[in-house]
């Protein structure tokens, strides 16, 4: 049996730069598509005016916020603040202020796009290792039953139960951190999660820039095309939807439960979008990797700073960092 810490269940994300956020061209394309889909059709004139005013204001604020964002990189030890910029009053307020209650789904996604997502920048991250699959119900259950880590099977092992047991475990942060500690890991930083999900080229989804409804489970009531996705790979199991695998070979980073991360403020938040919080008309935007997490049911995908050494499997399975 290959346990949860076997090399096959971890992916190395190499050190280097990658693109974070959304470029101006991507933002313009998103806004254009929203207009083409008539997502504003139900708004009154005064609501449209308010929407345009907020969008203009957020664009100006976000430019300053992006400069502040570039001075802070989240690591395993916390938030490092690099010298060069002081927070303005607007930037301090940005951490707490909510603009207004959205009138429609169109208003909601506009606000999320401009208020929470930075403009595209290049960020360097050190090497880290991320779990290929989220922690499953079965694995989390066994851990809470005090099962030794070396006896908790990996996702694809015959000893791992199928069905609901293979879904991503819904966890609370207080109960998620102990399993990370036990395996010698931690929660991923928000930027680490984003790099593992989208690679280095600024793509919108793990599979590329074009929306693909058969790459994940994105909203309740979604019907997938069984001709392009094998029937045994459709559903909520963590090894479902092979078309949605990231450039690094990480599974199920969108189209499932959002996942716990450490954000740049140094607190626990989430990335990814729960199908319950999305709809057929907005799923293409909700599930873009740069978008903030949304949904109360969250999953867990640990990261390691060192490659897992198989102490329990024998010397032939060991792998050491150079």
pTM given for the model = 0.79
Predicted confidence at residue 62, as pLDDT, reads: 56
Q: Pick the last residue of a domain from 89, 119, 149.
A: 119
* Residues 141, 56 share a domain: no
What's the domain range around 180?
1-17+123-308
Among the candidates 119, 137, 159, a domain finishes at 119
Assess whether 27 and 78 both reside in one domain: yes
Query: Domain check: are 172 and 291 in the same one?
Result: yes
Asked whether residue 321 is assigned to any structural domain, the reply reads no
Averaged pLDDT score across all residues of the chain: 79
Both 99 and 132 in one domain: the answer is no
Highest mean pLDDT among 11-15, 39-43, 116-120, 266-270: 11-15
According to the model, what pLDDT value does residue 111 have? 61
Q: Do 109 and 241 reside in the same domain of the chain?
A: no
Q: Is the pLDDT of residue 210 over 70?
A: yes
Reference 67, options 103, 119, 142; nearest CA is 119
Residues 220 and 79 in one domain: no
Q: Quick: pLDDT tens for 124-162.
A: 899 999 999 999 999 999 999 999 999 999 999 999 998
Q: Are residues 216 and 68 in the same domain?
A: no
Q: Assess contact for 234 and 226: CB atoms under 8 A.
A: yes
Query: Residue 84 pLDDT > 80, yes or no?
Result: no
In this predicted structure, what is the pLDDT of residue 42? 62
- For residue 300, the domain's CATH number is 3.90.1580.10
Residue 320 lies in a domain: no
Q: pLDDT tens for residues 46-72?
A: 666 666 666 666 566 556 655 555 555
Number of structural domains found in the chain = 2
Same-domain status, 161 and 283:
yes
Residue 236 maps to a domain = yes
Residue 8 in this model has a pLDDT that exceeds 80: yes
Region 196-201: what's the mean pLDDT? 96
Q: Three-class SS string for the chain?
A: CCECCCHHHEEEECCEEEEECECHHHHHHHHHHHHHCCCCCCCCHHHHHHHHHHHHHHHHHHHHHHHHHHCEEEECCEEEECCCCCCCHHHHHHCCCCCCCCCCHHHHHHHHHHHHCCECEEEEECCEEEECCCCEHHHHHHHHCCCCHHHCECCCCCCCCCHHHHEECCECHHHHHHHHHHCCCECCEHHHHHHHHHCCCCCCECCECCCCHHHCCCCCCCCCCCCCCCHHHCCCECCCCHHHCCCCCCCCCCCCCCEEEECCCCCEEEECECHHHCCCCCHHHHCCCCCECECCCEECCCEECCCCCCCCCCHHHCCCCC
Length of the chain: 322
Question: Based on the domain organization, do 41 and 183 belong to the same domain?
Answer: no
In a domain, 295, yes or no: yes
Does the residue 318 lie in any domain?
no
Residues 107, 128 within the same domain:
no
Do residues 187 and 108 share a domain? no
Same domain, 88 and 4: no
């Amino acid at each position: 049996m290959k346990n949860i810490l076997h090399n096959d269940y971890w992916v190395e994300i190499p050190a280097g730069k990658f693109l974070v956020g959304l470029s101006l061209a991507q933002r313009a394309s998103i806004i254009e598509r929203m207009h083409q889909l008539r997502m504003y059709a139900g708004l009154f004139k005064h609501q449209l005016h308010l929407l345009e005013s907020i969008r203009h204001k957020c664009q100006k604020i976000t430019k300053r916020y992006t400069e502040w964002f570039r001075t802070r990189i989240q690591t395993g030890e916390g938030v490092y603040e690099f010298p060069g910029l002081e927070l303005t009053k607007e930037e301090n307020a940005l951490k707490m202020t909510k603009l207004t209650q959205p009138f429609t789904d169109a208003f909601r996604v506009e606000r999320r796009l401009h208020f929470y997502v930075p403009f595209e920048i290049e960020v360097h991250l050190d090497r880290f290792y991320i779990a290929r699959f989220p922690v499953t119900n079965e694995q989390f259950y066994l851990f809470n039953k005090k099962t030794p880590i070396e006896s908790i099977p990996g996702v694809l092992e015959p000893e791992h139960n199928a069905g609901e047991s293979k879904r991503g475990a819904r966890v609370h942060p207080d109960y998620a951190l102990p399993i990370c500690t036990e395996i010698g890991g931690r929660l991923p930083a928000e930027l680490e999660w984003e790099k593992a999900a989208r690679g280095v080229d600024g793509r919108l989804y793990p599979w590329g820039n074009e929306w693909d409804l058969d790459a994940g489970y994105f909203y309740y009531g979604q019907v997938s095309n069984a001709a392009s996705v094998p029937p045994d790979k459709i559903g909520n199991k963590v090894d479902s939807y092979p078309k949605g695998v990231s450039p690094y070979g990480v599974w199920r980073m969108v189209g499932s439960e959002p996942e716990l991360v450490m954000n740049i403020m140094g607190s626990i938040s989430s990335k990814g979008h729960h199908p319950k919080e999305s709809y057929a008309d907005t799923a293409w935007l909700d599930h873009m990797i740069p978008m903030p997490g949304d949904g109360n049911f969250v999953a867990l995908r640990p990261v390691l700073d060192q490659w897992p050494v198989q102490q329990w499997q024998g010397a032939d399975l060991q792998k050491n960092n150079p």
